[in-house]
Amino acid sequence: MRAIDTNVLVRAIVNDDTAQSERAVALLTEAEVFIPVTVMLELEWVLRSRYAFAPKLVAQAIGKITSLGNVVVGEREAVLSAANRAAQGWDFADALHVALSQGCEDFTTLDADLVKRAAREVAGGEKARTVVARL
CA dist 115 and 109 (Å) reads 8
- 110 and 133: one domain? yes
Q: Are residues 87 and 127 in the same domain?
A: no
pLDDT at 46: 98
Give yes or no: residues 22 and 61 share one domain. yes
pLDDT value of residue 129: 63
Q: In the prediction, which pLDDT does 1 show?
A: 95
Q: Are residues 20 and 68 in the same domain?
A: yes
Residues 32, 94 within the same domain: yes
Both 60 and 123 in one domain: the answer is no
Are 27 and 4 in contact, with CB atoms under 8 Å apart?
Answer: yes
- Indicate whether 58 and 113 sit together in one domain: no
Domain range spanning residue 115? 103-135
The pLDDT of residue 123 is: 66
Whether residue 38 sits in one domain with residue 16: yes
Both 87 and 76 in one domain: the answer is: yes
How far apart are alpha carbons 9 and 61 in whole angstroms? 10
| Per-residue pLDDT at 94 | 96
d(CA 89, CA 51): 18
The count of domains in the chain is 2
Other CB atoms within 10 Å distance of the CB of residue 128 = 12
- Give pLDDT, residue 127: 56
* H-helix segments, 50-89: 55-67, 76-87
Tell me: do 6 and 62 sit in the same domain: yes
Say whether both 126 and 88 belong to one domain.
Answer: no
> Does residue 124 share a domain with residue 92?
no
* Segments of the chain scoring below 70 in pLDDT: 123-129
pLDDT of residue 124: 60
